[in-house]
Each structure stands twice: as C-alpha cells, then as structure tokens.
Structure 1
Amino acid sequence: MNNEPYKVSICIPIYGVEQYIARCAESLFEQTYHNIEYIFVNDCTQDKSVDILMQVLSKYQVRKPQVKIINHKYNRGLAAARNTGIDAVTSDYVMHVDSDDWIERNAVELLVKKQIETGADYVMANHIQNLGTYRIFWERPHIVNPRQLSLSLIKRYMPINVYGQLFHISLYRNHEIRVAEGVNMGEDFQQVPRLAYYATQIAIVDEFIYHNENTNKASYTRSSFNINKWEQVWSSTQIIIDFCQEKGENFVQAANFLRFKTAANSLITLTKGKLYPIEYKRMSDIVNARRDLWKSMPVTQQACFYLSNIYMVAVYVKAARILRFALNKMYKKIRHHDIVKP
C-alpha cells in the first residue's frame, strides 16, 4: 500500500441485490490495488443484501477498516444513493460500481496506472454487458477532447454509464454536479456529460474491466415501465438541455437533437409496446415541430412519428424491438465464449 500513489473511493449503492452482491463484493475486496475506500450506501433494502455483504467482508479482514456502510433512514432511490456516496468520499479519486455488477481484479490498478501516466482527471474504460444468453463488448471510442466527448455523450453516440470509470472528486465538488433526487431513470446521463465537459484531460483504458449485469429484473432501470419512469427520463433530459443552453452554439444544437431523439427512443425502448395516448401526442408534437431534426434521426425512429394511429405505432414498436435485438446480435461485437470472472 505504501507504494500506491493515492487512495481511491468506490461508491456502491445497495438495494434488492441479494442474488448478486456477494459476487460484486468479492471482486471489490480482491482488488490488486490496496489503498481503497469502500462506501456502501444501503437505501433501505428489504432483502438480505447487507447481511450477505457482511458475510463476505468477514472473509477479508484486511479490508474491514476500509469499509463504510451508510444507511438511509428511508428508501430514497438510486439518485440519492449516488449523492450520498459522493458526499462521503474522502479521497481525490472516485469510482462507481453497481452492486449487481462486478469488476476485474486489476480494475482499480489499471485505472490508477493510466491516470498516473497521463495526469487525467477522468479515466474511461471498456465494459462488458451481460444479457444472459450472450454478452456485448462495448469499446470506448478514443475521444479524449473533453468538449467533443461531452457532445458525443449528449447526442448518445456512445454508452453513457457512470460506473467503471475514474473521476477526480473536484469534477463533482467544484462544479456542484449532483443527481436530482427522485429522478432515477437517466441518472447516469445527468452526470457523465457534465463531468466530461469540465474535465481538463481524459484518458482511456483499453482493457475490459467492468461487467454490467443486465439480467437483474429487480433493477430500477430494468423493472416494468410506468409513466412515472417516463417522466423521469424527460427530467434527466431536461437537466442536460438546461446545461447545454449555457455552453455555446454546438451544445444548443446538441440539446435540440437530444430532445427529439429522446422522444423517439421513449417510444421504441422505454414503453415496450405500452403507449399512452397523451404522452404519444406530447412526443409527436415535439418531434414534428422540427422536421429538420426529425429527418436526422434513423428511419426506424422517424417511422414512429410518421404513423398517426397510436395502435399502429404500438405494433411498430414491438416489431422494432425484435429488429433491434436481431441487429445487436449481428453488429454489436457479441461474443459467445465465456468470460473469465474474478
């Protein structure tokens, strides 16, 4: 530990992950990097997640002094848990890990090594998305210009995830970057484009160090859709739109594009075929008000708004989801071999 340059804080929210948290905790406590502060935020989970965490921790006595468990007094949601974790950080660098995911044993070591080599205050890395029967390998594009990266994230040209990356804590604290409490859908999107914008230097670890578990049906983002979640997506979008309005012409254009792309994606991805007439009209009005942006979207998304009958759209949405799944298998670098777990 004496040879390690600094302490890294890892923030881990806990809620409803009793089937996954042992794997997550083991991958954290077995890190080859030793100078780590673990901040677990218990958002009043109703299952045995915390008990299982303590059982795992009992096997790693050397890690016990490094662990903080913060208990919310009542269930406040993922966004609040993120904020609680950031508020508790006592080191210069912070990393987020979701408690149903896991990381490679050398993940922190690789991130710190890259940060030392480059002096970056934001270090990205590749991740693997586990979808049960197959995996998707997501490679980060080599965009190291902060403004360019922020724009690419806002336009959703690349994955937007706060987990599995290394941030200097000053990016949060100096710029008052927080997640809107209660707005849990799109909470990553509220943070990452702003963190990228304010970074002075960005670096990329080319290895796949993070495993994202997408089979947890209890996860907030993967549980059943409802109109409240749809409103949260729009709230997260609006936060970034407001941010863009102050950052120059390119960001204003990106904000306009984001507004319409979010409307289209809401129909295809979030509603899962369950369309609400009032919300459909709201989205259609937004998109059709600017045909230039409407035409800049993929044809599959344009079709959503070309069809005026909501029941026809419902049929289209289901077909589009099947098509998207098929295209993902063909073009998203899916590999069918097993991945070595920590």
Structure 2
Amino acid sequence: MVKVSVIVPIYKVERFITKCVDSLMSQTLKDVEFIFVDDASPDRSIELLNKCIRKYPNRVDSIKIVSHEKNKGLPAARNTGLALATGEYIFHCDSDDFVDSDMLETLYDTAQKEKADIVWCDWYLTFGHNERYMKQPCYKTSLDALKGMLGGTMKFTVWNKFVKRDLYIHNNIFFPAGYDMGEDMTMMMLFSCAKKVKYIPKAFYHYVKLNTGSFTQTYSERHVVELDYNVHRISDYLHERFGNTLNKEIAFLKLAVKYPLLISANSKKYLLWKTWFPEANRYIKINHYVSSRCRFLQRCAAKGFFVVIRIHYILFHKVVYGLIYR
C-alpha cells in the first residue's frame, strides 16, 4: 500500500494539463501513485500528459494511465480511479487546476498525526492575473462539518479533501456516474461515515477559473436534472443514517443548490428558482451558515423582488469579478 493515490480525470484540458502534472510530479511526498483517467478526451491532452511525465523518470513507476473507450463523465472517471487505487488515502485533483509542492506531504502528515479519516484545507480561486484566498471553516467533528457543508458555509468540493480510502470501501461509497452536476456532494456521504476529521488553515490547491460567467451560462436543463438527482441522493442517504435530525440542514442544501440561479440577469433562471425546492424557502431566515447578503437575496427572490437580484448581479458580479478578478 502506498501512502496516497492521486486521481486525475482528463477531458479537454490541453491548455492546462502540463501545469497540473508538473505540480503533481513536484510533490515533496515520494510514496504516491498517480492515476490519470483519460475520459476519451478528443484533444491533445493525453499526448501532452505523456510528454510531461517523461521529464520525471523517478515517478514513472508510480504512474497509471487508463482510458475510457467513450466519454463517461467526471463521476465515472473518478470511480475508475478509485477502483485502481491502492493508497491509504485518496486525493482528487482536477486536471485544469494545480497544487503547491508540499500539499500531499502536509495533508498526509496531518492525517497520520491526528489519526484523521478526512483532512481538508483552504484553497485559492485562481483567475488569469490574480488569485483570491478562499478560507474554509474549522469544525471539530465530522457531524459539524457535514452540517457546515449542508448549510453552505463549507465547500463540499472533492479537491481540497484528503480522505482515507477505507471510508470509500467499507461504506460502499462511489460517485454518481451519469450525474455530473453536483457529483462532489459525495463528500457529504464520506463525512457522515468519518470518525475523526481535521482542518488545516492553509491553502495548497489552485482552482483555476478563467471564465467567470461559465456556470450561469451553462446552467442547462440537463444540469438541473443532475443536481436534482444528487440532492435527492444525499437527502435519502442522510435520512437513512440520521433519521429526521438533519431536515433543517437538508433544506439549507436545497437553498444552496439553487442559489447560483440568482447570480444572473436571466428571468428564466429566476422562474426556475421559484419553482425548484419551494419547500426550502421557509428556512431562508434561519440559515446563519451563509452571509446576510445571501439571505437577503434569497428573501428578495422568495418575495418576487427580482429587480433587486438583477441590480446586484450587475454591480457585484459584473464589476467585482468581471473587472477586479479576471
């Protein structure tokens, strides 16, 4: 058993793959296996991957490259990597991002010292010319962290979480193949099974976001179906484990899932917000996991004051993110 298995799905990332792989090959932790999953990428991503890894002959024996015959999507690629992994811990890295060289060693040493099932850390939101430091909350227990993710104050992203492989195996946890949007909610299932968790107040992961409008522009009908599936998947799983004790927090998750619809000037998205999970709207006022600004926008949406939502989008997201962070 190696210390860490790093799983890297690859699809249409020829612009980013070299920087990603360089950052992984430069890790100070040596006992690592790297599993690259080619999800039938139609561009030069795999060619560039092979070219890059030839620069690191000391890592050759620790690299696995596996290919899907046809594109299956991100969750399926993660599952393929999990099936091949032999590491004590699992780390997922998206192939258009990059990491600091001491990331794996720091996460692994912390997990060993604290005997933690899961370790998470801060991260960077990386734009074309600058970065924004994204601080995560500190929770002492896995249940508190789970509530934080449901509430929206803690990200349930896979790429700043360091997870013991046994959690996947012993609890039969895998990613929802075919339902890409919201697939990282799977982290909540893992946290619900973890006995001990640990937070590191330091950022190592650089989440690259060059198109600040891409999420709202691609929020398609299919994405809504996928998100709806994943919300119900998590809701059912948590009800089975905890009964009704997390009903309030699950309502917070529903609010968080549809909140991006308000980061838009599109009236069709506003209509979808009104019709999607309307039963959760009565929990807006009491969700103190999120900012007062977020609650204010949701309350405006619930009352139909979409002019306010549109003005907020133009002033905040177009000016702040469109001009300052780019």
TM-score bracket for the superposition, by shorter chain length: 0.7 to 0.9
Are the structure 2 counterparts of residues 30 and 223 from structure 1 closer, same or farther at C-alpha, using a change threshold of 3 Å?
farther
Kindly report which structure 2 residues correspond to 1:211-290, keeping only aligned pairs within 5 A, or say none: 211-215=206-210, 224-246=218-240, 247-263=242-258, 265-269=259-263, 273=266, 275=268, 279=272, 282-283=275-276, 286-287=277-278, 289=279
SS at match of 2:210: coil
Kindly report which structure 2 residues correspond to 1:121-200, keeping only aligned pairs within 5 A, or say none: 121-189=117-185, 191-200=186-195
Structure 2 residue identity aligned to 1:166: F
Q: Which TM-score applies when normalising by structure 1?
A: 0.84
Match of 1:292 in 2: 282
Are the structure 2 counterparts of residues 59 and 93 from structure 1 closer, same or farther at C-alpha, using a change threshold of 3 Å?
same
Match of 1:318 in 2: 310
Shift of 1:77: 0.6
Deviations 1:198-223 (A, max 9, x none): 1111112222111111116898x686
Shift of 1:224: 2.4
Q: 2:94 aligns with which of 78, 94, 98?
A: 98
Kindly report which structure 2 residues correspond to 1:12-27, keeping only aligned pairs within 5 A, or say none: 12-27=8-23
Contact 1:244/1:252 (8 A) holds in 2: no
Contact 1:114/1:204 (8 A) holds in 2: no
Are the structure 2 counterparts of residues 317 and 29 from structure 1 closer, same or farther at C-alpha, using a change threshold of 3 Å?
same
Match of 2:291 in 1: none
Deviations 1:13-67 (A, max 9, x none): 0001001000000011111111111000000111100000101111111111111
Contact 1:122/1:196 (8 A) holds in 2: yes
Are the structure 2 counterparts of residues 86 and 218 from structure 1 closer, same or farther at C-alpha, using a change threshold of 3 Å?
farther
Q: How many residues align?
A: 315
Shift of 1:252: 2.0
Are the structure 2 counterparts of residues 99 and 238 from structure 1 closer, same or farther at C-alpha, using a change threshold of 3 Å?
same
Structure 2 residue identity aligned to 1:299: F
Shift of 1:279: 3.8
4+ residue segments displaced more than 4 Å: 216-219, 326-329
Shift of 1:6: 4.6
d(CA) in 2 for partners of 1:42 and 1:147? Answer: 35
SS at match of 1:275: helix
d(CA) in 1 for partners of 2:182 and 2:24? Answer: 25
d(CA) in 1 for partners of 2:112 and 2:160? Answer: 17
d(CA) in 2 for partners of 1:96 and 1:126? Answer: 15
Contact 2:274/2:301 (8 A) holds in 1: no
d(CA) in 2 for partners of 1:202 and 1:125? Answer: 11
Q: Does 1:83 align with 2:75?
A: no
Contact 1:44/1:75 (8 A) holds in 2: yes
Q: 2:55 aligns with which of 39, 51, 59?
A: 59
**Tell me, which stretches of 5 or more residues in structure 1 are unaligned?**
330-334, 337-342
Structure 2 residue identity aligned to 1:95: F
Shift of 1:294: 4.2
d(CA) in 2 for partners of 1:295 and 1:147? Answer: 22
Q: Which TM-score applies when normalising by structure 2?
A: 0.87
Are the structure 2 counterparts of residues 222 and 101 from structure 1 closer, same or farther at C-alpha, using a change threshold of 3 Å?
farther
Match of 1:49 in 2: 45
Contact 1:6/1:35 (8 A) holds in 2: yes
Are the structure 2 counterparts of residues 116 and 6 from structure 1 closer, same or farther at C-alpha, using a change threshold of 3 Å?
farther
**Tell me, which stretches of 5 or more residues in structure 2 are unaligned?**
288-294
Structure 1 residue identity aligned to 2:245: N
